[in-house]
Structure 1
Amino acid sequence: PLFAFVGVAVTSATVILYGQAIWNPVDLLARLTAESGNALLGLVAMLAIIVATITTNIAANIVAPANSFANLAPNRISFRLGGLCAGIIGILILPWKLIDMYQAWLISYSGLLGAVAGVLICDYVVIRRGVLKLRDLYTEAGAYAYTRGVNWRAVAALGGGIMVALAGTLDTRLRFLFDGAWFSAAIVSFVLYLVLMGHHR
């Protein structure tokens, strides 16, 4: 949530400064460097972006595909070779050309994750007060059994949050709901879940 907020805040600031939303850090840094006339600023900023990109991809994005390739033929493909294969394929699919195509999908997906987060936060922090009955987590007839193992109130709150976020695609006046899909979905699902679970605390 912190990184999402920083991204939204910085992009919002570019609307005020430049009259348009500049969401790509590289474009924003290029503009700042050109305006300041300070080449050192651009060099340091680009080095920071390169380091951040490499460390993020190594720590988060390369582990799963490297393991997947290694598991295809454990005797022949090591984790290192699997990571190398994933890196080469990642370059060959030209991801920089796909980003515009998938941006709408990524925003929609963030709405789903926001709705899930809203329900989880409300349930754990507000409803349960941070206390879980551990034994009941593993009991079919426990406190968390609900209706055949499904908490339909949570499902309804989840659906409500997602629908509100997607409503931003239907009308330009509601576009802010979709642009900030994570936040709008999280807030709506949080409130809905709190209302629906009110007498079940």
Structure 2
Amino acid sequence: MKKSHLKSADLLPILHKDRKVTKLGFSFMWVGMCVVLAAFAIGGAGVMSLSLPMVILATVIGSLAIGFFISLIADIGIEHGLSFPVYMRAPFGTIGTHIPSVTRGITASMWFGINTYFGATAMNGILNILFSFDNWFVCFLIFAIVQLINTALGIKSIERFADMAAPIIILISLWMYSSLSDQAAAAGRDIWSWAESPVTGVAAFSAFLVVIFSNMGFWATLSADIPTISRFIKAPANEKNWFKRNKSSLIGNMIAMPLTQTFMIIIGAVAYIAVLNYDPVVALQKSAGGFFLAILLLMIVLAQWSTNTAANVVPAATIFSNVGGPKFPFWAGVITAGIVGTIVQPWTLFDVIIPILLFVGGILSAIVGILFADYYLIRKRRVNVPDLYENHGQFKYMGGINLAGFIAWIVGGGASFFVPNYGFLVGFFAGAGLYYVLAKYWWFKKYPQAEIEDPSDEKYLGISVGRDWVIDENAFETAIVEIPNNVDLY
């Protein structure tokens, strides 16, 4: 008799009463998450060959598309209260889940380091203006520690910070746009028609697609592990209508994110039009100073804080906690994420890390496809949740590995590598299609799945039939042992 390694308290399904994030709170999280240097870079790169209206149109299309994919995968958390690494035990196995999950965890930690560095330089700028203090590394350590503490306090603490930060970010962003537009006009450039090297015909269409898929690829990582966040979103019980059950998620993913993402792309584009640099901080330093510059830098600090806690530290910490088991709680995962994000030294590897992270994002798009195929096409949203927490349950497969998932991931991820500009869709459809065929017609013939053999709503659905999945973390599972033939039983 031994306690299952899979039953960590921080990874158990979230009960209906414990889902505290409101639709406004989730939307405000998106406001902060979209204000990142990479978003500005997409806008700056876009106006090198396209006019700003075309960049905006491409961004809206890309943002709505990826928002839809995010909403699809988010239902795993909303319906069953499950986090990303726990559900990954279904398509990858109880042991196999660790390999793709840790890939995402390390990626999230690296993003944490980059955003912390970006925010630390802004913090250093504020302290320099106000107190003549100048030591960005001290700011980096302080900023990292504060963010990690905020995350370790839980999702409600993150939501409260987002509620406070989002209105400030919106107001300062509007001021940034106005100031940058004035700079562009002073330089004799019309922001709505200027392009550095305008292209037409096939070249223009190709550049348009690049902007679309850049926006989709940028959020590919979060679309994979969105259940880690969505499991905390309030949702109505006994609601079988998908759209009504996912209303709060849809408002955030399909309205708040596309609007904020598009506006940040515009700011990056206008910054490039104004001074040929997509970084708005660099652009505004040429015209702003003193108190106004300090306000601008405060927005950067708040935005990186909000982005890191929700989009990077929570997913990474949950994944590391899953690997560590019951003796490695969520707060230990938070510290691990902070350590990984620091030891990669983002201040010296910034130019190298960004391409690596975007490449990993393309690879992770195959995982999004696999999750979609497993959850919607094969299991049809029904999940034998208790067995996800059992070492010898149906998800043990072959030594804890689901080969169908790994083959589909390798092929889908490899396909996305050869077409990086369109990597998300290629990886998604390759991963989903191959996994569906392999799992349904091969793997699950060898390893039958209860919810597929008996697709009962009452047995295998969650909140939509009013069920809370309750897993006893202190329960033991029976080890299977062979009894020697020469032993008498009474």
Task: Give TM-score scaled by structure 1 length.
Answer: 0.57
Pairs within 5 Å for 1:15-54: 15-17=49-51, 18=195, 19=197, 27-33=268-274, 49=300, 51-54=302-305
The equivalent position to 1:122 in structure 2, one of 365, 369, 373, is: 373
The Cα offsets for residues 153-187 of structure 1, whole Å up to 9 and x where unpaired, read as 11100110111122x2xxxxxxxx21343442222
Give yes or no for contact 1:107–1:181 (8 Å, CA) kept in 2. no
**Distance in 2 between residues matched to 1:48 and 1:29, nearest whole Å:** 18
Give yes or no for contact 1:29–1:45 (8 Å, CA) kept in 2. no
**Distance in 2 between residues matched to 1:123 and 1:11, nearest whole Å:** 38
**Distance in 1 between residues matched to 2:391 and 2:274, nearest whole Å:** 60
**Distance in 2 between residues matched to 1:58 and 1:152, nearest whole Å:** 33
The Cα offsets for residues 106-162 of structure 1, whole Å up to 9 and x where unpaired, read as 1221123212222122101111111111233326252x3332321111110011011
Taking only aligned residues, the RMSD between alpha carbons, in angstroms, comes to: 4.6
**Distance in 1 between residues matched to 2:312 and 2:384, nearest whole Å:** 35
Residue 49 of structure 1: CA displacement? 4.7
Secondary structure of the structure 2 residue equivalent to 1:16: coil
In the alignment, structure 1 residue 196 sits paired with structure 2 residue 447? no
**Distance in 1 between residues matched to 2:421 and 2:373, nearest whole Å:** 23
Pairs within 5 Å for 1:32-181: 32-33=273-274, 49=300, 51-57=302-308, 93=345, 95=346, 98-137=349-388, 138=390, 140-142=392-394, 144-166=395-417, 168=418, 177-181=419-423
The equivalent position to 1:187 in structure 2, one of 408, 425, 429, is: 429
The Cα offsets for residues 16-73 of structure 1, whole Å up to 9 and x where unpaired, read as 22347898956523134569xxx89xx89887555422432466667889xxxxxxxx
Give yes or no for contact 1:161–1:189 (8 Å, CA) kept in 2. yes
**Distance in 1 between residues matched to 2:374 and 2:313, nearest whole Å:** 33
> Residue 161 of structure 1 aligns to which amino acid in structure 2?
G
**Distance in 2 between residues matched to 1:183 and 1:96, nearest whole Å:** 32
CA 1:45–1:118: 2 relative to 1, 3 Å: farther
CA 1:29–1:197: 2 relative to 1, 3 Å: same
CA 1:195–1:33: 2 relative to 1, 3 Å: same
**Distance in 1 between residues matched to 2:424 and 2:440, nearest whole Å:** 24
**Distance in 1 between residues matched to 2:368 and 2:44, nearest whole Å:** 23
Residue 10 of structure 1: CA displacement? 5.3
Give yes or no for contact 2:416–2:426 (8 Å, CA) kept in 1. yes
**Distance in 2 between residues matched to 1:28 and 1:47, nearest whole Å:** 21
**Distance in 2 between residues matched to 1:157 and 1:62, nearest whole Å:** 27
Residue 12 of structure 1: CA displacement? 7.9
Higher relative contact order (CA 8 A, sep 6+): 2
**Distance in 2 between residues matched to 1:34 and 1:178, nearest whole Å:** 29
Q: Which runs of 5+ in 2 are unaligned?
A: 1-32, 52-194, 198-206, 215-263, 277-286, 318-330, 445-451, 453-490
CA 1:12–1:146: 2 relative to 1, 3 Å: farther
| Structure number with higher helix proportion | 1
**Distance in 1 between residues matched to 2:268 and 2:347, nearest whole Å:** 14
> Residue 16 of structure 1 aligns to which amino acid in structure 2?
L
Could you say which residue in structure 2 is the equivalent of 1:75? none
Who wins on radius of gyration, i.e. which is larger?
2
Could you say which residue in structure 1 is the equivalent of 2:229? none
Q: Which runs of 5+ in 1 are unaligned?
A: 66-78, 169-176
Could you say which residue in structure 2 is the equivalent of 1:171? none
CA 1:30–1:96: 2 relative to 1, 3 Å: farther
**Percent of aligned pairs sharing the same letter:** 23
**Distance in 2 between residues matched to 1:28 and 1:140, nearest whole Å:** 54
